[in-house]
Amino acid sequence: MTEARSAVEAVFRIESARIIAATARIVRDVGIAEEIAQDALLAALEQWPESGVPDRPGAWLMVTAKRRAIDLVRRKETYARKLAEVGRTLEDVPPPEPADPDRIDDDLLRLIFTSCHPVLSTQARIALTLRLLGGLGTEEIARAFLATETTVAQRVVRAKRTLGRAGVPFEVPYGPDRAARLDSVLEVIYLIFNEGYAATTGDDLLRPALCQDALRLARVLAGLMEKEPEVHGLVALLELQASRAAARTGPDGAPVLLADQNRSRWDRLLIRRGFAALARANEAGGAGPYALQAAIAACHAHAVTYEATDWTVIATLYRRLAALVPSPVVELNRAVAVSMAEGPAAGLVLVDALAAGPELKAYHLLPSVRGDLLERLGRAQEARAEFVRAAELTRNEQERTLLLARADRVSR
Protein backbone atom coordinates (compact mmCIF):
# COMPACT_ATOMS: atom_id res chain seq x y z
CA MET A 1 0.00 0.00 0.00
CA THR A 2 1.44 3.37 -1.00
CA GLU A 3 1.87 6.22 1.44
CA ALA A 4 -0.76 8.28 -0.40
CA ARG A 5 -3.28 5.45 -0.34
CA SER A 6 -2.70 4.95 3.38
CA ALA A 7 -3.25 8.67 3.92
CA VAL A 8 -6.47 8.64 1.88
CA GLU A 9 -7.93 5.76 3.85
CA ALA A 10 -6.87 7.13 7.22
CA VAL A 11 -8.29 10.59 6.52
CA PHE A 12 -11.49 9.17 5.09
CA ARG A 13 -11.99 6.99 8.16
CA ILE A 14 -11.76 10.08 10.35
CA GLU A 15 -13.69 12.50 8.18
CA SER A 16 -16.26 10.30 6.43
CA ALA A 17 -19.08 10.95 8.91
CA ARG A 18 -18.72 14.73 8.61
CA ILE A 19 -18.49 14.50 4.83
CA ILE A 20 -21.61 12.35 4.58
CA ALA A 21 -23.43 14.63 7.04
CA ALA A 22 -22.52 17.79 5.13
CA THR A 23 -23.51 16.38 1.74
CA ALA A 24 -26.72 14.87 3.15
CA ARG A 25 -27.76 18.41 4.12
CA ILE A 26 -27.43 19.35 0.46
CA VAL A 27 -28.98 16.31 -1.23
CA ARG A 28 -31.36 15.37 1.64
CA ASP A 29 -30.68 11.65 1.23
CA VAL A 30 -28.14 9.74 3.33
CA GLY A 31 -27.79 6.99 0.71
CA ILE A 32 -26.91 9.44 -2.05
CA ALA A 33 -24.69 11.38 0.38
CA GLU A 34 -22.71 8.22 1.13
CA GLU A 35 -22.29 7.53 -2.60
CA ILE A 36 -21.00 11.08 -3.11
CA ALA A 37 -18.56 10.66 -0.22
CA GLN A 38 -17.34 7.43 -1.80
CA ASP A 39 -16.87 9.30 -5.11
CA ALA A 40 -14.72 11.84 -3.29
CA LEU A 41 -12.71 8.98 -1.81
CA LEU A 42 -12.13 7.50 -5.27
CA ALA A 43 -11.07 10.90 -6.58
CA ALA A 44 -8.51 11.17 -3.80
CA LEU A 45 -7.23 7.65 -4.52
CA GLU A 46 -6.73 8.65 -8.16
CA GLN A 47 -5.22 12.09 -7.61
CA TRP A 48 -3.19 12.03 -4.40
CA PRO A 49 -0.62 9.44 -5.55
CA GLU A 50 0.14 11.78 -8.49
CA SER A 51 -0.27 15.23 -6.93
CA GLY A 52 0.73 14.39 -3.37
CA VAL A 53 -1.32 14.53 -0.17
CA PRO A 54 -2.81 18.05 0.20
CA ASP A 55 -1.99 20.18 3.22
CA ARG A 56 -5.54 19.82 4.53
CA PRO A 57 -6.65 16.41 3.27
CA GLY A 58 -9.94 16.40 5.21
CA ALA A 59 -10.90 19.78 3.75
CA TRP A 60 -9.99 18.52 0.26
CA LEU A 61 -12.36 15.57 0.60
CA MET A 62 -15.10 17.80 2.03
CA VAL A 63 -14.87 20.38 -0.76
CA THR A 64 -14.81 17.69 -3.44
CA ALA A 65 -17.87 15.95 -2.00
CA LYS A 66 -19.82 19.20 -1.58
CA ARG A 67 -19.09 20.28 -5.15
CA ARG A 68 -20.41 16.98 -6.43
CA ALA A 69 -23.49 17.24 -4.23
CA ILE A 70 -24.26 20.76 -5.46
CA ASP A 71 -23.69 19.66 -9.07
CA LEU A 72 -26.16 16.83 -8.52
CA VAL A 73 -28.79 19.17 -7.11
CA ARG A 74 -28.30 21.65 -9.97
CA ARG A 75 -28.77 18.85 -12.49
CA LYS A 76 -31.98 17.89 -10.69
CA GLU A 77 -33.14 21.49 -10.77
CA THR A 78 -32.45 21.75 -14.46
CA TYR A 79 -34.36 18.53 -15.01
CA ALA A 80 -37.22 19.87 -12.88
CA ARG A 81 -37.41 23.06 -14.92
CA LYS A 82 -37.53 21.06 -18.13
CA LEU A 83 -40.30 18.92 -16.68
CA ALA A 84 -42.19 22.06 -15.66
CA GLU A 85 -41.90 23.38 -19.20
CA VAL A 86 -43.82 20.36 -20.39
CA GLY A 87 -46.39 20.64 -17.61
CA ARG A 88 -44.96 18.21 -15.06
CA THR A 89 -43.34 18.71 -11.64
CA LEU A 90 -40.56 17.07 -9.73
CA GLU A 91 -41.12 17.13 -6.00
CA ASP A 92 -38.59 17.24 -3.22
CA VAL A 93 -35.81 18.89 -5.14
CA PRO A 94 -33.95 20.85 -2.48
CA PRO A 95 -32.15 24.04 -3.36
CA PRO A 96 -28.36 23.92 -3.26
CA GLU A 97 -26.92 25.36 -0.10
CA PRO A 98 -23.58 27.13 0.13
CA ALA A 99 -20.86 25.40 2.09
CA ASP A 100 -20.80 26.69 5.66
CA PRO A 101 -18.17 25.14 7.92
CA ASP A 102 -19.96 26.46 11.01
CA ARG A 103 -22.87 24.12 10.33
CA ILE A 104 -20.84 20.92 10.18
CA ASP A 105 -21.62 19.93 13.76
CA ASP A 106 -25.32 20.51 13.12
CA ASP A 107 -25.04 18.27 10.09
CA LEU A 108 -23.38 15.54 12.12
CA LEU A 109 -26.15 15.73 14.68
CA ARG A 110 -28.73 15.39 11.91
CA LEU A 111 -26.90 12.35 10.58
CA ILE A 112 -26.88 10.67 14.00
CA PHE A 113 -30.61 11.23 14.47
CA THR A 114 -31.38 10.09 10.93
CA SER A 115 -29.31 6.90 11.22
CA CYS A 116 -31.04 6.01 14.48
CA HIS A 117 -34.60 6.77 13.34
CA PRO A 118 -37.17 4.46 14.97
CA VAL A 119 -38.57 3.57 11.56
CA LEU A 120 -35.55 1.24 11.29
CA SER A 121 -35.09 -1.99 13.21
CA THR A 122 -32.50 -2.01 15.96
CA GLN A 123 -30.12 -4.12 13.86
CA ALA A 124 -30.56 -1.79 10.90
CA ARG A 125 -29.91 1.26 13.08
CA ILE A 126 -26.71 -0.31 14.43
CA ALA A 127 -25.44 -1.30 10.98
CA LEU A 128 -26.25 2.09 9.45
CA THR A 129 -24.73 4.00 12.39
CA LEU A 130 -21.50 2.04 12.21
CA ARG A 131 -21.40 2.47 8.45
CA LEU A 132 -22.13 6.20 8.26
CA LEU A 133 -20.81 7.49 11.58
CA GLY A 134 -18.24 4.87 12.53
CA GLY A 135 -16.78 4.75 9.05
CA LEU A 136 -16.75 0.95 9.14
CA GLY A 137 -16.92 -1.07 5.96
CA THR A 138 -19.35 -3.91 5.39
CA GLU A 139 -16.66 -6.48 6.15
CA GLU A 140 -15.77 -4.83 9.46
CA ILE A 141 -19.39 -4.63 10.61
CA ALA A 142 -19.97 -8.25 9.59
CA ARG A 143 -16.89 -9.35 11.51
CA ALA A 144 -17.89 -7.35 14.58
CA PHE A 145 -21.35 -8.88 14.77
CA LEU A 146 -20.44 -12.28 13.38
CA ALA A 147 -22.80 -11.84 10.46
CA THR A 148 -22.14 -12.44 6.80
CA GLU A 149 -21.09 -9.54 4.61
CA THR A 150 -24.13 -10.17 2.45
CA THR A 151 -26.44 -9.87 5.44
CA VAL A 152 -24.86 -6.63 6.58
CA ALA A 153 -24.81 -5.16 3.07
CA GLN A 154 -28.49 -5.96 2.60
CA ARG A 155 -29.26 -4.54 6.03
CA VAL A 156 -27.55 -1.25 5.19
CA VAL A 157 -29.16 -1.00 1.75
CA ARG A 158 -32.61 -1.73 3.15
CA ALA A 159 -32.09 0.81 5.92
CA LYS A 160 -31.23 3.58 3.47
CA ARG A 161 -34.15 2.56 1.25
CA THR A 162 -36.52 2.55 4.23
CA LEU A 163 -35.45 6.05 5.24
CA GLY A 164 -36.06 7.27 1.71
CA ARG A 165 -39.47 5.60 1.38
CA ALA A 166 -40.57 6.87 4.78
CA GLY A 167 -39.57 10.40 3.84
CA VAL A 168 -37.52 10.77 7.01
CA PRO A 169 -36.34 14.39 7.04
CA PHE A 170 -32.64 15.09 7.49
CA GLU A 171 -33.08 17.11 10.66
CA VAL A 172 -32.78 17.12 14.44
CA PRO A 173 -36.28 16.69 15.86
CA TYR A 174 -37.61 18.94 18.60
CA GLY A 175 -39.96 18.59 21.55
CA PRO A 176 -41.33 15.11 22.33
CA ASP A 177 -40.01 13.76 19.03
CA ARG A 178 -36.51 14.78 20.02
CA ALA A 179 -36.74 13.06 23.38
CA ALA A 180 -38.05 9.90 21.73
CA ARG A 181 -35.37 9.95 19.03
CA LEU A 182 -32.61 10.76 21.51
CA ASP A 183 -33.53 7.62 23.46
CA SER A 184 -33.07 5.64 20.26
CA VAL A 185 -29.72 7.28 19.53
CA LEU A 186 -28.40 6.55 23.01
CA GLU A 187 -29.72 2.99 22.88
CA VAL A 188 -27.90 2.24 19.63
CA ILE A 189 -24.61 3.65 20.91
CA TYR A 190 -24.93 1.65 24.14
CA LEU A 191 -25.75 -1.54 22.23
CA ILE A 192 -22.66 -1.08 20.09
CA PHE A 193 -20.54 -0.59 23.21
CA ASN A 194 -22.02 -3.58 25.01
CA GLU A 195 -21.37 -5.89 22.07
CA GLY A 196 -17.74 -4.82 22.26
CA TYR A 197 -17.57 -5.06 26.04
CA ALA A 198 -19.20 -8.49 26.39
CA ALA A 199 -19.54 -10.17 23.03
CA THR A 200 -22.74 -12.15 22.66
CA THR A 201 -21.07 -14.88 20.62
CA GLY A 202 -17.68 -15.91 19.34
CA ASP A 203 -14.29 -16.83 20.74
CA ASP A 204 -13.37 -13.49 22.35
CA LEU A 205 -15.01 -11.79 25.31
CA LEU A 206 -14.06 -8.30 24.13
CA ARG A 207 -14.17 -6.48 20.81
CA PRO A 208 -12.24 -3.31 21.65
CA ALA A 209 -12.84 -1.61 18.31
CA LEU A 210 -16.59 -1.59 18.90
CA CYS A 211 -16.11 -0.08 22.36
CA GLN A 212 -13.90 2.63 20.88
CA ASP A 213 -16.40 3.41 18.12
CA ALA A 214 -19.27 3.68 20.60
CA LEU A 215 -17.24 5.84 22.96
CA ARG A 216 -16.21 8.14 20.13
CA LEU A 217 -19.84 8.50 18.99
CA ALA A 218 -20.97 9.25 22.53
CA ARG A 219 -18.26 11.89 22.98
CA VAL A 220 -19.23 13.52 19.68
CA LEU A 221 -22.88 13.54 20.75
CA ALA A 222 -22.00 15.09 24.12
CA GLY A 223 -20.09 17.84 22.35
CA LEU A 224 -23.10 18.54 20.18
CA MET A 225 -25.75 18.34 22.91
CA GLU A 226 -24.10 19.88 25.97
CA LYS A 227 -27.36 20.45 27.85
CA GLU A 228 -28.70 16.89 27.63
CA PRO A 229 -27.94 15.14 30.94
CA GLU A 230 -28.53 11.62 29.66
CA VAL A 231 -25.97 12.13 26.89
CA HIS A 232 -23.35 12.98 29.51
CA GLY A 233 -24.67 10.10 31.61
CA LEU A 234 -24.03 7.69 28.75
CA VAL A 235 -20.55 9.10 28.16
CA ALA A 236 -19.77 8.71 31.87
CA LEU A 237 -21.03 5.14 31.85
CA LEU A 238 -18.98 4.17 28.79
CA GLU A 239 -15.82 5.91 30.03
CA LEU A 240 -16.01 4.16 33.40
CA GLN A 241 -16.81 0.74 31.95
CA ALA A 242 -14.12 1.09 29.30
CA SER A 243 -11.61 1.91 32.06
CA ARG A 244 -11.83 -1.72 33.25
CA ALA A 245 -11.42 -3.33 29.82
CA ALA A 246 -7.74 -4.23 30.18
CA ALA A 247 -8.40 -6.05 33.46
CA ARG A 248 -11.45 -7.97 32.26
CA THR A 249 -9.44 -10.71 30.56
CA GLY A 250 -6.26 -12.58 31.34
CA PRO A 251 -3.30 -13.10 28.99
CA ASP A 252 -5.12 -16.04 27.37
CA GLY A 253 -8.30 -14.01 26.84
CA ALA A 254 -10.15 -15.76 29.66
CA PRO A 255 -12.66 -13.56 31.55
CA VAL A 256 -11.56 -12.20 34.93
CA LEU A 257 -14.40 -11.61 37.37
CA LEU A 258 -14.73 -8.16 38.96
CA ALA A 259 -13.69 -9.51 42.34
CA ASP A 260 -10.46 -10.88 40.89
CA GLN A 261 -9.48 -7.98 38.66
CA ASN A 262 -6.14 -6.22 39.13
CA ARG A 263 -7.35 -2.67 39.72
CA SER A 264 -3.95 -1.22 38.94
CA ARG A 265 -4.77 -2.10 35.33
CA TRP A 266 -7.87 0.09 35.34
CA ASP A 267 -7.34 3.13 33.11
CA ARG A 268 -7.14 6.15 35.46
CA LEU A 269 -7.52 8.66 32.60
CA LEU A 270 -10.81 7.09 31.50
CA ILE A 271 -11.96 7.05 35.12
CA ARG A 272 -11.25 10.76 35.47
CA ARG A 273 -13.08 11.42 32.21
CA GLY A 274 -15.98 9.33 33.48
CA PHE A 275 -16.15 11.25 36.76
CA ALA A 276 -16.10 14.56 34.84
CA ALA A 277 -18.88 13.44 32.49
CA LEU A 278 -20.96 12.24 35.45
CA ALA A 279 -20.51 15.62 37.12
CA ARG A 280 -21.74 17.32 33.94
CA ALA A 281 -24.74 14.98 33.87
CA ASN A 282 -25.57 15.84 37.47
CA GLU A 283 -25.14 19.58 36.86
CA ALA A 284 -27.60 19.27 33.98
CA GLY A 285 -30.11 17.57 36.28
CA GLY A 286 -29.29 14.01 35.29
CA ALA A 287 -31.29 11.34 37.07
CA GLY A 288 -32.06 9.08 34.13
CA PRO A 289 -31.08 5.47 33.46
CA TYR A 290 -27.64 6.20 32.02
CA ALA A 291 -26.70 8.66 34.77
CA LEU A 292 -27.78 6.12 37.40
CA GLN A 293 -25.78 3.33 35.76
CA ALA A 294 -22.82 5.69 35.56
CA ALA A 295 -23.21 6.42 39.28
CA ILE A 296 -23.06 2.67 39.93
CA ALA A 297 -19.94 2.35 37.78
CA ALA A 298 -18.44 5.31 39.66
CA CYS A 299 -18.94 3.46 42.97
CA HIS A 300 -16.82 0.61 41.62
CA ALA A 301 -14.22 3.05 40.32
CA HIS A 302 -13.97 4.76 43.71
CA ALA A 303 -13.38 1.48 45.57
CA VAL A 304 -9.72 0.71 46.15
CA THR A 305 -10.51 -2.98 46.51
CA TYR A 306 -13.47 -5.22 45.76
CA GLU A 307 -14.09 -5.60 49.48
CA ALA A 308 -14.11 -1.81 49.93
CA THR A 309 -16.97 -1.37 47.47
CA ASP A 310 -19.99 0.42 48.92
CA TRP A 311 -22.55 -2.23 48.02
CA THR A 312 -25.30 -0.58 50.07
CA VAL A 313 -25.14 2.51 47.88
CA ILE A 314 -25.01 0.37 44.75
CA ALA A 315 -28.08 -1.62 45.86
CA THR A 316 -29.92 1.66 46.45
CA LEU A 317 -28.96 2.96 43.01
CA TYR A 318 -30.16 -0.28 41.42
CA ARG A 319 -33.48 0.07 43.27
CA ARG A 320 -33.87 3.58 41.81
CA LEU A 321 -32.91 2.25 38.38
CA ALA A 322 -35.45 -0.60 38.63
CA ALA A 323 -38.16 1.91 39.54
CA LEU A 324 -37.24 4.05 36.54
CA VAL A 325 -36.81 1.31 33.93
CA PRO A 326 -38.26 -1.95 35.29
CA SER A 327 -36.30 -4.85 33.84
CA PRO A 328 -35.47 -8.38 34.97
CA VAL A 329 -31.82 -7.78 34.05
CA VAL A 330 -31.68 -4.70 36.30
CA GLU A 331 -33.39 -6.74 39.02
CA LEU A 332 -30.75 -9.47 38.63
CA ASN A 333 -27.99 -6.90 39.04
CA ARG A 334 -29.76 -5.50 42.09
CA ALA A 335 -29.86 -9.03 43.54
CA VAL A 336 -26.07 -9.23 43.24
CA ALA A 337 -25.65 -5.89 45.02
CA VAL A 338 -28.11 -6.91 47.75
CA SER A 339 -26.24 -10.19 48.23
CA MET A 340 -23.02 -8.26 48.78
CA ALA A 341 -24.63 -5.72 51.13
CA GLU A 342 -26.87 -8.06 53.11
CA GLY A 343 -25.55 -11.55 52.44
CA PRO A 344 -26.12 -14.26 49.78
CA ALA A 345 -29.39 -15.47 51.30
CA ALA A 346 -31.01 -12.05 50.75
CA GLY A 347 -29.81 -12.01 47.15
CA LEU A 348 -31.01 -15.57 46.53
CA VAL A 349 -34.58 -14.60 47.46
CA LEU A 350 -34.57 -12.03 44.66
CA VAL A 351 -32.90 -14.39 42.18
CA ASP A 352 -35.34 -17.21 42.92
CA ALA A 353 -38.22 -14.83 42.23
CA LEU A 354 -36.68 -14.06 38.84
CA ALA A 355 -36.09 -17.78 38.16
CA ALA A 356 -39.80 -18.44 38.70
CA GLY A 357 -40.67 -16.06 35.83
CA PRO A 358 -40.25 -16.67 32.09
CA GLU A 359 -38.25 -13.54 31.14
CA LEU A 360 -34.73 -14.81 31.90
CA LYS A 361 -35.17 -18.53 31.11
CA ALA A 362 -32.57 -18.38 28.35
CA TYR A 363 -30.32 -15.75 29.98
CA HIS A 364 -27.09 -17.44 31.07
CA LEU A 365 -26.29 -14.87 33.76
CA LEU A 366 -29.33 -15.91 35.82
CA PRO A 367 -28.00 -19.44 36.60
CA SER A 368 -24.50 -17.99 36.78
CA VAL A 369 -25.50 -15.56 39.55
CA ARG A 370 -27.61 -18.21 41.27
CA GLY A 371 -24.66 -20.60 41.19
CA ASP A 372 -22.44 -17.96 42.77
CA LEU A 373 -24.92 -17.33 45.60
CA LEU A 374 -25.42 -21.06 46.22
CA GLU A 375 -21.65 -21.53 46.34
CA ARG A 376 -21.34 -18.75 48.92
CA LEU A 377 -24.08 -20.48 50.95
CA GLY A 378 -22.14 -23.77 50.86
CA ARG A 379 -24.68 -25.57 48.62
CA ALA A 380 -21.99 -26.95 46.33
CA GLN A 381 -23.91 -29.49 44.27
CA GLU A 382 -26.73 -27.06 43.51
CA ALA A 383 -24.15 -24.41 42.60
CA ARG A 384 -22.41 -26.82 40.22
CA ALA A 385 -25.66 -27.58 38.42
CA GLU A 386 -26.32 -23.87 37.95
CA PHE A 387 -22.84 -23.20 36.54
CA VAL A 388 -23.26 -26.08 34.09
CA ARG A 389 -26.65 -24.77 33.03
CA ALA A 390 -25.20 -21.27 32.53
CA ALA A 391 -22.41 -22.76 30.38
CA GLU A 392 -25.02 -24.47 28.23
CA LEU A 393 -26.86 -21.19 27.66
CA THR A 394 -23.99 -18.85 26.78
CA ARG A 395 -22.86 -18.53 23.18
CA ASN A 396 -19.49 -17.04 24.07
CA GLU A 397 -16.67 -19.59 24.25
CA GLN A 398 -14.63 -17.72 26.86
CA GLU A 399 -17.62 -17.43 29.19
CA ARG A 400 -18.45 -21.11 28.67
CA THR A 401 -14.91 -22.12 29.62
CA LEU A 402 -15.02 -19.96 32.77
CA LEU A 403 -18.42 -21.32 33.86
CA LEU A 404 -17.36 -24.94 33.37
CA ALA A 405 -14.19 -24.26 35.36
CA ARG A 406 -16.28 -22.84 38.20
CA ALA A 407 -18.56 -25.90 38.06
CA ASP A 408 -15.53 -28.15 38.27
CA ARG A 409 -13.96 -26.19 41.12
CA VAL A 410 -17.08 -26.02 43.29
CA SER A 411 -17.68 -29.77 43.06
CA ARG A 412 -14.22 -30.76 44.33
Is 284 within 8 Å of 227 (Cβ atoms)?
A: yes
- At residue 94, the pLDDT reads 47
Which pLDDT score, from 0 to 100, does residue 10 have?
82
42-46, 272-276, 369-373: least confidently modelled range? 42-46
Highest mean pLDDT among 6-10, 215-219, 279-283, 396-400: 279-283
- Per-residue confidence (pLDDT) for residue 206, from 0 to 100: 77
Instruction: Name 44's Cβ contacts closer than 8 Å, sequence gap at least 6.
Output: 8, 11, 12, 57, 60, 61, 64
Range in 94-108, 271-285, 343-357, 369-383 with the lowest mean pLDDT:
94-108
- Phi first, then psi: what are they for 249, rounded to 5°? -135, 155
The pLDDT of residue 228: 92
210 pLDDT band (50/70/90 cuts)?
A: confident
Tens of pLDDT, residues 136-176: 788 878 876 767 889 999 999 999 999 988 988 888 887 77
**Residue of higher predicted confidence among 332 and 87:** 332
DSSP sequence for 11-58: HHHHHHHHHHHHHHHHHS-HHHHHHHHHHHHHHHHHHHHHH---SSHH
CA neighbor of 69 nearest in space, from 40, 102, 104, 112: 40
pLDDT at 223: 87
pLDDT digit string (tens) for 55-85?
898 899 999 999 999 999 888 777 666 656 6
CB 62 within 8 A of CB 15: yes
Q: Name which of 20-29, 118-127, 167-176, 306-315 the model is least confident about.
A: 167-176
Burial of 338 (C-beta count, 10 Å sphere; 0-12/13-18/19+) = buried
pLDDT at residue 99 is higher than 50 = no
Whether 91 has a pLDDT exceeding 50, the answer reads no
* Cα(129)–Cα(107) distance, integer angstroms: 14
Highest mean pLDDT, choosing among 69-73, 233-237, 355-359:
233-237
Share of the chain above pLDDT 70, in %: 92
Instruction: Look at the domain 1-85 and name its fold.
Output: Rna Polymerase Sigma Factor; Chain: A (1.10.1740)
**Which has more pLDDT, 265 or 102?**
265
Which range among 40-44, 101-105, 175-179, 323-327 shows the weakest confidence by mean pLDDT?
Answer: 101-105
Amino acid identity, position 138: T
Is the distance from CB of 160 to CB of 31 less than 8 angstroms? yes
Angle between helices 175-197 and 104-115 (to 10 degrees): 80
Per-residue confidence band for 310, with pLDDT thresholds at 50, 70 and 90: very high
- The Cα–Cα gap between 294 and 366 comes to 23
pTM of the full structure? 0.78
User: What residue segments make up the domains of the chain, in order of their start?
Assistant: 1-85, 200-305
Least confident of 86-90, 125-129, 177-181: 86-90
Q: What is the mean pLDDT of residues 169-189?
A: 84
Average pLDDT over residues 362-383: 95
Three-state secondary structure call for residue 395:
strand
Percent of the chain residues past pLDDT 90, beyond the cut: 51
CB within 8 Å of 359: residues ≥ 6 apart = 328
